[in-house]
Amino acid sequence: MSDYLFPPLEVFLLAVAGEAAEFPVRRIFCVGRNYVAHAQEMGGEVDREAPWYFTKQAAHAVHSGAVLPYPPGTENYHHEMELAFAIGAPVFRASAAEAQAAIYAYGCALDMTRRDRQQDGKDNRRPWSLGKDVEGSAVFAGLTKAADFGAVGGQRIHLQVNGEARQGAVLADMVWSCGEIVEHLSRYYHLQAGDIVMTGTPAGVGAVLAGDVIEGGIDGLAPVLLTLTDAE
């Protein structure tokens, strides 16, 4: 028997294709503006000097297939379809080769966003937490090992809402590659097995409504699905 005062947070686990053991998620890092066309639609420019980040708590992760109420505190909840990658070994101040070797698996993910609260943050030069660190806003499909996925490049990334195409690009459109992200991020964090990085979204982000079914895919990976029901 433990002597916790209440049950501690359960570890969020992701299935890995072809692997009996599951991947326990530790931290979630998210890359901002990693596709030129999305940076432009947000009224900004790509930062070519270095990638930059925000985070989501692992407590806010949900599995693909989740059915969740439209979240409180927004009238402009947006979909962002993203490639996520999973770190499989400790890596700090990584070389290019070490960075690539630390990427254990890839998966489809949704970075759901209160766009109005994110805009408040931009307008007032405040953090984006209410916009980005939303309960249930990090939606993850099961992972595919990097060796099985192959090189990131021409795979199509896309998102549909109620079957209608909203986002589409190829992974080669990313400004910063997964390896480059690990190289950079590992200068600031001792990355560990269990850490996940969401690599940014292509153009075509937009609002979703209660009742919408959001489905995203990337060639070679399991799709990610989210259904929104009426607000609580």
Q: How far is the CB of 155 from Mn ion (least distance, A)?
A: 18
- The answer to whether the CB of 110 falls within 8 A of the CB of 79 is yes
Residue 133 sits in the site that holds Mn ion (CB under 5 A): no
Residue 137 sits in the site that holds Mn ion (CB under 5 A): no
Q: Can you tell me the distance from the alpha carbon of 32 to that of 50, in angstroms, rounded to the nearest whole number?
A: 11
Q: How far is the CB of 82 from Mn ion (least distance, A)?
A: 6
- Binding test (CB under 5 A) with Mn ion, winner from 80, 133, 195, 215: 80
- The answer to whether the CB of 221 falls within 8 A of the CB of 106 is yes
**For Mn ion, which is the closer residue by CB, 177 or 201?**
201
Residue 201 sits in the site that holds Mn ion (CB under 5 A): yes
Q: How far is the CB of 175 from Mn ion (least distance, A)?
A: 13
Q: Which stretch binds Mn ion (CB under 5 A): 71-79, 134-142, 166-174, 198-206?
A: 198-206
Tell how far CA 190 is from the center of its chain.
19
**For Mn ion, which is the closer residue by CB, 14 or 39?**
39
Burial class (CB in 10 A: 0-12, 13-18, 19+), 50: exposed
Q: How far is the CB of 147 from Mn ion (least distance, A)?
A: 26
Interface of this chain with Mn ion, residues 92 to 111, rule: CB under 5 A: 111
Q: Can you tell me the distance from the alpha carbon of 226 to that of 185, in angstroms, rounded to the nearest whole number?
A: 29
Contact letters for Mn ion, residues 158-197 (x by CB under 5 A):
----------------------------------------
Q: Can you tell me the distance from the alpha carbon of 32 to that of 134, in angstroms, rounded to the nearest whole number?
A: 16
Contacts with Mn ion by CB under 5 A: the residue count is 3
Q: Which stretch binds Mn ion (CB under 5 A): 9-17, 78-86, 139-147, 222-230?
A: 78-86
What's the start-to-end Cα distance of the chain, in Å? 36
Alpha helices (H) along 50-195: 96-102, 115-124, 129-132, 146-149, 178-185
Q: How far is the CB of 196 from Mn ion (least distance, A)?
A: 13
DSSP per position, 10-70 = PPPEEEETTEEEEEE---EEEESS-BHHHHHHTT-----S---EEEE-GGGEEETTEEEEP
**For Mn ion, which is the closer residue by CB, 167 or 201?**
201
CB atoms within 10 A of CB 45: 10
Q: How far is the CB of 30 from Mn ion (least distance, A)?
A: 5
- Chain residues binding Mn ion by CB under 5 A are 80, 111, 201
